[in-house]
Structure 1
Amino acid sequence: MVNKKKIRLMNMAVVASLGLFGCKLEALTLKESVAEALITNPIVQERLKNFRETQQDLNIAQSEYLPVLDLKSSFGTNSGGNLKSNTENSSYQNYTNSLKLTQNIFNGFSTSHKVDYQKARILAAAYNYLENANDVAFQMVEAYLDVIRAYKLLQNAKESVAINQNIYNNIQELFDSGLTTKSETTKVYASLSLAKSNMIVQENNAIDKEFKFKRIFGRNINVWEMEMPSLDMVMPESIQRATMYAIQNNPSVLVSEYNIQSAQALYKEKKSSFYPKVDFELEQLYNGNRNKENRYDQTDDRLKAYVTLNWNLYRGGADKAAIQRTRSTIHKEVESKRDIKRQTIEAIELSWSAYHMIANQLNELYRYYEYSKETLESYQQEYDMGRRTLLDLLSVQNDLINSKSQIINAETDRLFAQYRILDAMGILVSTIAGDTEAYSSMTLPVEKPFYVTEDSLPINLDRDGDGIVDSLDICQSSVEEENIMPYGCVKGPLDSDYDGVPDMYDMCPDTKFGAVVDEKGCEIIGVPNKFAVDTKVYTSIVEPYNENSPHKSPQLGLYDYEYSTRADNNTLSTDLDNQLMYDNFELIQRFPEINMTDFKTELTPNTKIEIAQIATSILKNKKDGMIITVIGHTKTITESNENQHKSLEYAQVVKNELITNGIPKEAIQVESRFDKDKLYLKTYPIDDSLNDRVMVSLYVPQDIPSDSDGDGVIDIYDLCPNTPTGYKVNKDGCCLDDDNDGVINELDLCPNTPSGYVVDEHGCSVKRTLHVLFAHDSYVINLDSIGHIAEFAQFLKDHPYYNIVLTGHTSKTPTSTEKYNLKLSLKRAESIKAFLIANGVEESRINAVGKGFSEPIATNDTLDGQSQNRRIEVELIDVNKLTEQKKIILETDTLSETNKSVRF
């Protein structure tokens, strides 16, 4: 009975051994790897501490809103009158005390701008933390897949060594028996040495990938714990949608956005230098002498309350330069964001291309593998027949191994391309580990950026609590409670075939990588390899939508795109969205923004003039099916509902004015984008008012040329305008005929006919039996057949454009041998060839082959059947058509004439 349990049941001895050496039985999925790395990786933790550090800068800035209370006390000995001779010298003890409260009243809004600056820095730090967490997760995904890839390639290299070793053993036996040459033996041995070298390279590469995994993950892992991730996530509907989503949600882009905001706040803070600083001060003084009165310091007991004004009037232009510098800083951050945006776009485009192109590549690689496999089987049969050498077998074996290596790399690359797309879009971690505690902790700084968590001292320098301090710990994220080696890692028993069963208990020490094994370490027959993939999945694209996909809300427009990695959660785009996003247009014209800052209840005269000019331009390009989009935008308003209402009102007012100016109502599509798409960067409130605007765009449809037969080639270029529906055509609109035999692909039952062969209406080469009689076990032509062959010779002389292939066949008897009958059938064909040459047919026109008894046309169990099988078949090759390109079914009149002239 086949054991189909997912977890191997170990016997007590093996379990005890695994417990002794600290091995884990549970799987380590990609999700678990990412979640653990988010918690333990020092890069993520360093950015978290940086975020908390930045939070305190806000508290420091906000402290300027509060009063400052200073106590100053002094006590000492004074000595007076030492310099003037007419002044009595006096030494005395004096003390002073001052308690002063200072409350800033006005500082040019410096404090409020400092607070804004620090808030923007906190948000930037939060998204920088998220950015680095995403980057670590991305590295974790890459390392995880690379480890699996490396061990699959290592397994392939091991199989190559085994194949080469087997062939070497066989050829060495032949050499020792004197049946082959030394050069063939050394050639195979060289191939074996190369295979062993490649295996060592792959083994080293696998170790390297484990080291990389350990650097990110923090501890050693057992490769048999890993599982193959699935390639089943829905990608965005198009590269355009994926890219637009990415440039709005990628954490790096968001970090740069908050860097811009912090630069704006810093610019406004620097302008406070041009304003006076006004403070209220309340001070209690108590000064006196301890021993005696003196002529210098008297007792002072006063309470003072006053308002102070400090105003710098000139600083050599430093304040003006500081403002200009911060202006440039804003520009610098804007350009930095644009560069990051370009990088994000590049990342999406590269990964999107890889995701789709590798699917096409895998289609060909899977064919390469299947054909190599078929070739190997054929070569093996031919080797058994003595028609192939061991070197031939070695060559095709290497082809098979090479195809598997390329498939392994391509499959891994396609799987990784899926995660590359998600990473560029900023949703890699949420997709993989969105339901884990690690993800919730990671997103907390973004969701609650001003919620302060305070770090404490001292810091424990045994990060993983394994009893080995960090300065000595090689594995700083160990999770085992026992069996920690002095260097901080868990050392497990040797497992040479990576199946989870230690070598000391493994009865099958050469199990293939990924095979599911029983408690003895032997493969369970019928259970799929845990790292095998579904080839259909790897050569297809998951449809982005299904019948359960939600429809877009009516209030959402072209630029509102909601995405999910599950088709039933992925919001379906509208037909209008798809038309505007993907159709070809004769003209797309975007008009200058219509500013609505001065709009109250009616449009201003100047705005009406602008709209009239736009309408005039639209009417010049008026065409049936044209679309005019009118999209309203607003400045940032606290109430989101007001944003929506205001932007929609702006768009509706402009639409009505366009209709007044003659634009068809049905051609206009109104949308609201609230405050999402800023045209101007807001530094001061007046800047934001420029974002109160309406954008009008014109889409003029492209004329669709006529294609009467619907074959994809328009009529003006279609040389075959009546192609049947569904037939594939070439660039001229004519049916494809890949083998150039005159029969189109859809009707061709023999699609790989060699060039020039005369075919029937089904595209198969015409084979006719030349009625020639041979005695049993003879290739001498029977006298009764001479007349038929002479007629055929005359036919060939009358039709010099025909070459022929003569194929000899034999019958099979219980004593027949394949090798002998191959020779006999060839001799029979050569007998006919010799007769034709003797009767005036050029030798160059005749090719003779023998196929023995491999292609019978009747049973060999009867004498009559054996007689039918002893035959000569003739195939005609039209030399005029060896390179001629035919587009319609070849006429068969000549063939009919041939059948009338001579019996085949």
Structure 2
Amino acid sequence: MNGRLKMSRSYRFIAVSSAAVLLTVGASTARAETLQEAVQVLLETNPELRAVSANRGVRDEIVRQARADYFPKIDFEAGAGVQEFQKPDGVDLDPRIYRLGLRQNLFTGFATKNNVRRTKAHVSSSAYQVRDAADNSTLQASTAYLNVLLKQQIVGLADENLVIHKRILDQIKLRSGSGVSRKADLDQVESRLSLAQANVVNTGANLIDAQTTYQSVVGHIPKDLVTPKPQDEMMPANLEEAERLAVEQHPRLKSTNYDVEAREAQYDIAKAPYYPVFDFELDKLWEDEVQVNQTLDEQESWTAFLRLRWNLFNGMRDNARKKETAFQIDEAKEIRNNAYRQVIESVRLSWASYQATLDRLQFLENRVTSARRTTEAYGKQWNIGQRTLLDVLDSEAELINAREELYKAQTEKNLAQYRILDGLGSLVPALGLQYPQQAYLENDESESAAEQEAVEVKEEAAPAPQEKKMGPG
């Protein structure tokens, strides 16, 4: 009686635990949520991605600041004061001065042109950083999405396994009461039932963990998720094609290409101080109650200047600055080389995982088929007395384990596909979605010099800085 009471309480505990899990899963089941919908929410609300997108806006404004140097600067100056003379006595003045000036730079060693080129390269780099961040965030969302689906399947298997154990236990109790089954068989099934009950609790906790991760990535508790369609048609034909596509289109490589271009423009800017600076200046001056040639007068005049300034010596600062920017080109190229290594490594690892999962799937499907046939055969043999209930329970447990491994492999296959697409830099388009607006360039800048340059497979180092004697430093 005491044992039955403990068992009854245990059943109630498992029932409550399962109900809590089901309530958690069904808390937001008003409408099914597809993977595309989840990713779209992420692309619109993810804080990390929005921060990268905001940086693109910063770069756009920096370009406008650089272009401002092409335009003239117009300044207005006004002044008023008091002037007292000791000799002759009693002479007090209230001078007033108004000046309107225009300054237009005509030549500054190509610094303005190269500065605009530098800032535009930073804009392009930032746009591809947005794409890279969007693909990475989408991969995180896809992983969280599939993980929730997998945990839900495993919870279903755990519940099914518990029902099987209860059914076998009831049958053994009936046979034990009639003297057919042994007490040891009953004890063993009760022990395995306790393990099944513990598995229900454990799988429920794992599901809640997966839902929490999903909320952290996507921004809300998962709804009634829909199993996504595999991306089989988007897969490259082989590893060589995957590597080629990654090198051609991965946004991280394109971003680092533009970073190199920006550093090269900065090097050209550093050469500007070796050139003279030409400015055109136009001033209009109004003066009232000012002393001119010992007399008080009102004066109105204008002046126009073509002004040349050329620094002849600057403490070798300009030479050092030029060397600094040359080393920065070295740095940018090595960062690009490292990005190339990382992209190729990611593609190769993802492809190896994908191929291994494809090879495993056929065997795991065969295992499920064989286990199901075995379970059906054991059930029939038990009916005619050729198998024990423990044999039937073992076959049911084998089928549950086989199905769980198959579910995991199917999830791993889908995840490997998403990792490959992320490695190719095309995960968001593969899902039929668009990148954030900040990921696109105006006026089709994809044909710029940085895009035309092929990614350097060999890890070349930038040439050592060479001093070019263009003028005094």
With structure 2 as the length reference, what TM-score do the two structures score?
Answer: 0.81
One-letter amino acid matched to 2:358:
A
1:140-178 Cα shifts (integer Å, max 9, x gaps): 322222222121111111111111222223334445556
Q: Which moved more, 1:128-137 or 1:41-50?
A: 41-50
1:41-67 Cα shifts (integer Å, max 9, x gaps): 344433333222211211111111111
Structure 1 residues 66 and 179, CA gap change in structure 2 (3 angstroms): same
1:319-355 Cα shifts (integer Å, max 9, x gaps): 2222222111111111111111111111111111122
Q: Tell me what 2:165 maps to.
A: 164
Q: Tell me what 1:274 maps to.
A: 274
Decide which structure has the larger Cα Rg and report it: 1
Report if the CA contact (8 A) 1:105-1:278 is conserved: yes
Q: Tell me what 1:124 maps to.
A: 125
One-letter amino acid matched to 1:226:
V
Report if the CA contact (8 A) 1:126-1:449 is conserved: no
Aligned partner of residue 412 in structure 2, secondary structure: helix
Q: Tell me what 1:400 maps to.
A: 399
How far apart, in 2, do the equivalents of 1:40 and 1:442 lie? 13
Q: Tell me what 2:466 maps to.
A: none
1:62 to 49, 64, 67: 67
Structure 1 residues 390 and 89, CA gap change in structure 2 (3 angstroms): farther
How far apart, in 2, do the equivalents of 1:356 and 1:254 lie? 28
How far apart, in 1, do the equivalents of 2:295 and 2:327 lie? 56
Structure 2 residues without counterparts, runs of 5 or longer: 1-26, 464-473
Report if the CA contact (8 A) 2:253-2:455 is conserved: no
Report if the CA contact (8 A) 2:134-2:435 is conserved: no
Q: How does 1:559-638 map to 2 (within 5 A)?
A: none
Residues 1:445 and 2:440 are matched in the alignment: yes
Q: Displacement, 1:305? A: 1.2
Report if the CA contact (8 A) 2:28-2:223 is conserved: no
How far apart, in 1, do the equivalents of 2:390 and 2:35 lie? 43
Structure 1 residues 371 and 440, CA gap change in structure 2 (3 angstroms): closer
Report if the CA contact (8 A) 1:133-1:442 is conserved: no
Q: Tell me what 1:222 maps to.
A: 223
Aligned partner of residue 433 in structure 1, secondary structure: coil
Structure 1 residues 266 and 178, CA gap change in structure 2 (3 angstroms): same
One-letter amino acid matched to 1:127:
Y
Structure 1 residues 255 and 167, CA gap change in structure 2 (3 angstroms): same
Q: How does 1:92-241 map to 2 (within 5 A)?
A: 92-176=93-177, 180=181, 182-223=183-224, 225-241=225-241
How far apart, in 2, do the equivalents of 1:378 and 1:433 lie? 46
Q: Tell me what 1:326 maps to.
A: 325
Q: Tell me what 1:49 maps to.
A: 54
One-letter amino acid matched to 1:229:
K
Structure 1 residues 445 and 102, CA gap change in structure 2 (3 angstroms): same
Report if the CA contact (8 A) 2:152-2:207 is conserved: yes
Report if the CA contact (8 A) 1:419-1:428 is conserved: yes
Q: Tell me what 1:352 maps to.
A: 351
1:202-226 Cα shifts (integer Å, max 9, x gaps): 2222233233333343334422x52
Q: How does 1:630-669 map to 2 (within 5 A)?
A: none
Q: Which moved more, 1:379-388 or 1:108-117?
A: 379-388
Residues 1:39 and 2:40 are matched in the alignment: no
Q: Tell me what 1:587 maps to.
A: none
Q: Tell me what 1:644 maps to.
A: none
Q: How does 1:772-783 map to 2 (within 5 A)?
A: none
Residues 1:71 and 2:68 are matched in the alignment: no
Q: Tell me what 1:765 maps to.
A: none
How far apart, in 2, do the equivalents of 1:132 and 1:22 lie? 28
1:81-118 Cα shifts (integer Å, max 9, x gaps): 6xxxx997976433222211111111111000001001
Report if the CA contact (8 A) 1:106-1:278 is conserved: yes
The structure with the greater share of residues assigned to helix is 2
Q: Tell me what 2:311 maps to.
A: 312
Report if the CA contact (8 A) 2:39-2:138 is conserved: yes
Q: Give the % identical residues.
A: 27
Structure 1 residues 22 and 161, CA gap change in structure 2 (3 angstroms): closer
Aligned partner of residue 315 in structure 2, secondary structure: coil
How far apart, in 2, do the equivalents of 1:428 and 1:188 lie? 48
Residues 1:265 and 2:265 are matched in the alignment: yes
Report if the CA contact (8 A) 1:134-1:426 is conserved: yes
Structure 1 residues 448 and 416, CA gap change in structure 2 (3 angstroms): farther
Q: Tell me what 2:242 maps to.
A: 242
Aligned partner of residue 98 in structure 1, secondary structure: strand
Aligned partner of residue 73 in structure 1, secondary structure: strand
Structure 1 residues 675 and 56, CA gap change in structure 2 (3 angstroms): closer
Q: Tell me what 1:820 maps to.
A: none
1:6-59 Cα shifts (integer Å, max 9, x gaps): xxxxxxxxxxxxxxx99645x433333334433343444333332222112111
Structure 1 residues 391 and 92, CA gap change in structure 2 (3 angstroms): farther
Structure 1 residues 80 and 413, CA gap change in structure 2 (3 angstroms): farther
Report if the CA contact (8 A) 2:334-2:461 is conserved: no
How far apart, in 2, do the equivalents of 1:344 and 1:333 lie? 16
Q: Displacement, 1:131? A: 1.6
1:542-592 Cα shifts (integer Å, max 9, x gaps): xxxxxxxxxxxxxxxxxxxxxxxxxxxxxxxxxxxxxxxxxxxxxxxxxxx
Q: Tell me what 2:342 maps to.
A: 343
Report if the CA contact (8 A) 1:28-1:227 is conserved: no
Structure 1 residues without counterparts, runs of 5 or longer: 1-20, 451-635, 638-673, 684-904
One-letter amino acid matched to 1:395:
D
Report if the CA contact (8 A) 1:256-1:336 is conserved: yes
Q: How does 1:540-559 map to 2 (within 5 A)?
A: none
Report if the CA contact (8 A) 1:113-1:265 is conserved: yes
Structure 1 residues 136 and 323, CA gap change in structure 2 (3 angstroms): same
Report if the CA contact (8 A) 1:101-1:281 is conserved: yes
Q: Displacement, 1:316? A: 2.5
How far apart, in 2, do the equivalents of 1:173 and 1:90 lie? 128
Structure 1 residues 77 and 350, CA gap change in structure 2 (3 angstroms): same
Q: Tell me what 1:287 maps to.
A: 287
1:684-735 Cα shifts (integer Å, max 9, x gaps): xxxxxxxxxxxxxxxxxxxxxxxxxxxxxxxxxxxxxxxxxxxxxxxxxxxx
Q: Tell me what 1:414 maps to.
A: 413
Q: Which moved more, 1:194-203 or 1:369-378?
A: 369-378
Higher RCO structure (Cα 8 Å, ≥6 apart)? 2
With structure 1 as the length reference, what TM-score do the two structures score?
Answer: 0.44
Report if the CA contact (8 A) 2:330-2:462 is conserved: no
How far apart, in 2, do the equivalents of 1:109 and 1:352 lie? 48
Report if the CA contact (8 A) 1:34-1:433 is conserved: no
Q: Displacement, 1:183? A: 4.6
Give the RMSD, CA atoms, in angstroms.
Answer: 3.3
Report if the CA contact (8 A) 1:175-1:181 is conserved: yes
Report if the CA contact (8 A) 2:128-2:439 is conserved: no
Aligned partner of residue 233 in structure 1, secondary structure: helix
How far apart, in 1, do the equivalents of 2:442 and 2:278 lie? 38
Structure 1 residues 90 and 196, CA gap change in structure 2 (3 angstroms): farther
How far apart, in 1, do the equivalents of 2:415 and 2:193 lie? 33
Aligned partner of residue 75 in structure 2, secondary structure: strand
Q: Displacement, 1:420? A: 1.7
One-letter amino acid matched to 2:261:
Q
Structure 1 residues 164 and 302, CA gap change in structure 2 (3 angstroms): same
Report if the CA contact (8 A) 1:167-1:394 is conserved: yes
Report if the CA contact (8 A) 1:164-1:394 is conserved: yes
One-letter amino acid matched to 2:44:
I
Q: Displacement, 1:182? A: 4.8
Q: Displacement, 1:313? A: 2.7
1:791-846 Cα shifts (integer Å, max 9, x gaps): xxxxxxxxxxxxxxxxxxxxxxxxxxxxxxxxxxxxxxxxxxxxxxxxxxxxxxxx
One-letter amino acid matched to 1:45:
R
How far apart, in 2, do the equivalents of 1:70 and 1:234 lie? 60
